[in-house]
Amino acid sequence: EAGVVQSPRYKIIEKKQPVAFWCNPISGHNTLYWYLQNLGQGPELLIRYENEEAVDDSQLPKDRFSAERLKGVDSTLKIQPAELGDSAVYLCASSAGTGARGGELFFGEGSRLTVL
Amino acid sequence: QKEVEQDPGPLSVPEGAIVSLNCTYSNSAFQYFMWYRQYSRKGPELLMYTYSSGNKEDGRFTAQVDKSSKYISLFIRDSQPSDSATYLCAMTPYNFNKFYFGSGTKLNVKP
């Protein structure tokens, strides 16, 4: 079974440029998460989707960040314009979202962003 | 104050040592407690999963939860160089609506 797939793995851009990250979750997983992980820190939630609906985007900086999950499968996270402080790893995760196993998050390898 | 506190380490031990990793938390609503392992430049992967208080053992790994003290632990017996990674604790309320992660403890097991 394929895991969570993210692209690109690495991205280097200049500040004020736009950037987009793509995530393909595990087949059948209705719940999809985007997390931000700074160096030496744990993942912090940006947005959580249940199917197509963003059910928790309270931590998403909406002035520059946007996300979508069309058809309840793949998702994209966009930053426009990027700032120096956005340099971090952007992790996508998915889960079955039901019962006790809803607690198991499956993470992708992350997209590492460097803003110069 | 963060909801989950975790000593960042780094922790360096010789091969074969017993390792103890810990987290404390403040939210009594947390019901599910997890440990994730994250290798360098990889995403976290679930290692152990415990509901409420008690112990759970899986091979060389033992997870303990003490809800009265709001304290969780992960023990690694007979540690191996392949255990070298960052260990993240995580916890969530019963409805899984949000996961709270510790900052991670970096472990280095020396051959």
- Cβ-based contacts of B103 with chain A (< 8 Å): 40-42
Nearest-Cα distance to chain B for A108, in Å, is 5
Q: Which two tokens stand for residue B35?
A: 């440990």
pLDDT at A103: 66
B64 touches chain A (CB under 8 A): no
Nearest-Cα distance to chain A for B17, in Å, is 24
Of the candidates B41, B99, B104, which has its C-beta nearest A105's C-beta?
B99
Q: Which residue of A has its CA nearest to B10?
A: A40
Sign of CA dihedral A105, A2, A76, A29: negative
pLDDT at B30: 92
pLDDT at A102: 59
Q: What are the pLDDT digits (tens) for A6-31? A: 999 999 999 999 999 999 999 989 89
Those residues of chain A that have pLDDT short of 70 are 1, 97-103
- As a whole number of angstroms, the distance between CA B105 and CA A41 comes to 9
Residue contact A100–B45, C-beta within 8 A: no
- As a whole number of angstroms, the distance between CA B63 and CA B56 comes to 5
- Cβ-based contacts of B4 with chain A (< 8 Å): 42
pLDDT at A24: 97
Nearest to A76 by CA among A39, A46, A114, A38: A46
B40 touches chain A (CB under 8 A): no
Digit-by-digit pLDDT tens for chain B (111 residues) are 789 999 878 999 999 999 999 999 999 999 999 999 999 999 999 999 888 888 999 999 999 999 999 999 999 999 999 999 999 999 998 777 789 999 999 999 999
Query: ∠ at Cα A58 (B102, A34), nearest 5°?
Result: 60
Q: By CB neighbour count within 10 A (0-12 exposed, 13-18 middle, 19+ buried), where does B67 fall?
A: middle
Q: Which residue of A has its CA nearest to B44?
A: A107
Sign of CA dihedral A89, A91, A8, B82: positive
Buried b (16+ CB within 10 A) or exposed e, A76-97: ebebeebeeebbbbbbbbbbbb
